[in-house]
Chains A and B, each alone.
Chain A
Amino acid sequence: MGVVTFLCTVALLVPLFLILAFLARTGAGALNWDFFTKLPGAAGEPGGGMANAIAGTVLLIVLAGLLGIPIGVLGGVFMAEYPNARLTTLARFTADVMNGVPSIVMGLFAYVLVVLPLRHFSALSGGIALGVMLVPTVMRTTEEIVRLVPQSIREASLALGIPQWRTTLLVVIPTAAAGIVTGVMVGVARIAGETAPLLFTAFGNRFWNWNILQPVAALPLQIFSYAISPFDDWHRQAWAGALVLVAIVLIVNIAARAAASRQVKLR
């Protein structure tokens, strides 16, 4: 029995090592300075890079954060400070449901909401699609960490004659701050790699674009379109892009762990 379960574990991890190996070999092989600085080349022509895609991903994350972080963090604080409110139960249930919605459906929502009225694809719609995915994640993690802040801390502040709202804003939230940041970073790592919701919102762009009302390139989109293209050079660049994307996701996850370790012990 032990052997069987051990083999199960090995079988499970084989694809992981294969993926990492290919990323390291093929991906690293195609990484060069051009990759980070040049725009995509014309179809079929070798050369070019994914500079705009990397920048576009950053732009989309910023937009998503602007939507998702305030609603998520403040909503989570509400749920933690008023755990018995009906709104809290409703929000918690809805957040859990939303965390299970396929990401492509979020893209459909952003399409109907933004792309249809504007009549074209845009970074804004992509940011909204990703932001809507960020809200439930951040809200739940924030709620969990703020709930852990001991009541004695709140009491100490209130007993000093500090009003409730200042207590929450200036004592409770800072105490949970590192944990909140961790939750945000985990959420960001998740949306950074998303492709499906961007297919018909951000749509992709062969050039630089900082106008949020216009389509924008994104790293996962670029990887996808290069991967399904018939060109070998683009296939190699897709691997390079995948390496960079996985590296970004890993780095954000590590940063999240670092933030978590800075959280003051609450129990």
Chain B
Amino acid sequence: MQQVMEASRVERHSAAALIDRTTGIQAEDVHAWFDRLHALRGISMTVAERKITAVIGPSGCGKSTFLRCLNRMHELVPGARVNGKVVMDGQDIYRPGVDPVQVRRRVGMVFQKPNPFPTMSIYDNVAAGLKLAGEHSRRVLDQVVEQSLHAAALWDEVKDRMNKPGTSLSGGQQQRLCIARALAVSPEVLLMDEPASALDPASTLRIEELARELAKDITIVIVTHNMQQAARVSDFTGFFLDGELIEFGVTNDIFTRPKDRRTEDYITGRFG
């Protein structure tokens, strides 16, 4: 615990060094389809800047779909469509003419199962976002890679084996590697889709601590099926059911004084 707190102080510097700016998100009447399946029905939600907002709900409720609407990944699925507004930094990312690739640059994502690039080293994995976009300066890459690994609380564990394959790390380390990779391109928002569900309890806690740390510098939205995790980690929580946002509020309020019957049923474990 002591070590984590000391490391945190160093990391605080680094995450701030990477993130130039952050923003809240305003979702307005967002609808999403998979072909004819109406997966999201009119979601309106505010994600506060520099806070962790959790999205909870039973399987199939649309929480991952909603997350993918925030970085324009949903539309990559053949037959998928999105309607509505998602405003970041005063701009609707779905306004015609907006480049989805740029949006994905500004909104980082970490996935449920860690997915480091299998043919790349640890260094190359973190640098991938910059290198594949054309950055070649060794000096810049070295600096960003180190900052990112510090920010992801992974630096000490890998600093002596940066050339080893990314897949040679443990599950928890791989996930932090993916977080470092996402941070390296200096996003304004970080989306986390059940980031710890494939990990053991110890790694899960580390990811949660990391999220709390990162939230000091960057807005985070986290999807989780683990209610205790949502309660531990987030400032605000939204409860989804069947593609609708049933209730949204301060995490503590949602979990202790839910307003909607369905929220209460879910939280008390009557379903899902």
Chain-B contact segment, one of A13-21, A168-176, A242-250: A168-176
A153 at the B interface (CB under 8 A): yes
Quick one: closest B residue to A178, CB to CB?
A: B119
Residues in chain A near residue B132, CB distance under 8 A? 157, 160, 162, 166-167, 170-171
Report the bound CA distance from A156 to B126 in whole Å.
12
Contact with B along A170-203 (1 / 0, CB 8 A): 1100110100000000000000000000000000
Q: Is the CB of B113 within 8 A of A159?
A: no
How far apart sit A153 and B182, CA to CA, in the bound complex (Å)?
14
17 contacts between A and B (CB under 8 A): A152-B111, A156-B111, A156-B116, A156-B178, A158-B76, A158-B104, A159-B71, A159-B108, A159-B111, A160-B128, A160-B181, A161-B102, A161-B103, A161-B185, A163-B101, A264-B119, A265-B118
Q: A161-B185, A167-B132, A170-B132 are in contact. List 12 more A-B contacts (CB 8 A).
A: A152-B113, A156-B115, A158-B104, A159-B71, A160-B108, A160-B185, A161-B102, A161-B133, A162-B128, A163-B101, A177-B119, A265-B118
Binding site for B on A (CB under 8 A): 84, 150, 152-153, 155-163, 166-167, 170-171, 174-175, 177, 264-266
**B119 touching A155 by the CB < 8 A rule?**
no
Known: A160-B129, A163-B101, A170-B132. A153 touches B109 (CB 8 A): no
Which residues of B lie under 8 Å from residue A177 when comparing CB positions? Answer: 119
* Residues from 161 to 193 in B contacting A, C-beta threshold 8 Å: 167, 178, 181-182, 185
A167 CA to B73 CA, complexed, in Å: 14
Asked if A264 and B118 sit within 8 Å, CB to CB, the answer is yes
CA distance A156 to B178 in the complex (A): 9
Contact between chains at B104 and A161 (CB < 8 Å) = yes
The 8 lowest CB-CB distance pairs between A and B, nearest first, are A161-B105, A159-B109, A160-B129, A152-B115, A161-B104, A264-B118, A156-B115, A162-B132
Chain A proximity mask over B68-103: 1 for CB below 8 Å, otherwise 0? 000101001010000000000000000000000111
Pick from B78, B103, B108, B117: contact of A153, CB under 8 Å? B117
How distant is B96 from chain A, measured CB to nearest CB, in Å?
Answer: 19
The B127-141 residues at the A interface (CB cut-off 8 A) are 128-129, 132-133
Inside 8 A of B102's CB, which chain A residues have their CB?
Answer: 161
Task: Please report B residues at the A interface, Cβ cutoff 8 Å.
Answer: 71, 73, 76, 78, 101-106, 108-109, 111, 113, 115-119, 128-129, 132-133, 167, 178, 181-182, 185
A174 cross-chain contacts in B, Cβ below 8 A: 119
Complex-state Cα separation, A160 to B102, whole angstroms: 9
Q: How far is the CA of A163 from the CA of B103 in the complex (A)?
A: 11
Complex CA gap A158/B133 in Å reads 11
Contacts of B101 in A (CB 8 A): 161-163
B133 touches A162 (CB 8 A): yes
Q: How far is the CA of A35 from the CA of B176 in the complex (A)?
A: 60
Distance in angstroms between the alpha carbons of A84 and B76 in the assembled complex: 15
Q: What separation, in Å, do the CA atoms of A157 and B104 have in the docked complex?
A: 10
* Chain A residues, CB < 8 A from B119: 174-175, 177, 264
Measured in the bound complex, the distance between the Cα atoms of B99 and A163 in whole Å is 10
Partner among B73, B103, B116 whose Cβ is within 8 Å of the Cβ of A155: B73
Complex Cα spacing A158 to B115, Å: 12
- When chains A and B are docked, how far (Å) is the Cα of A84 from the Cα of B79? 12
CB closest residue in chain B, given A161: B105
In the complex, which residues of chain B have a beta carbon less than 8 angstroms from the beta carbon of A167? Answer: 132
CB < 8 Å: which of A155, A175, A264, A266 contacts B111? A155
CB pair B105 A155 closer than 8 Å: no
Q: How far is the CA of A84 from the CA of B117 in the complex (A)?
A: 26
Q: Which residues of B contact A171 (CB under 8 A)?
A: 117, 128, 132
The answer to whether B105 touches A160, judged by C-beta atoms less than 8 angstroms apart, is yes
List of A residues within 8 angstroms of B178 by Cβ = 156
Nearest CB of chain B from residue A28's CB, rounded to whole Å: 41
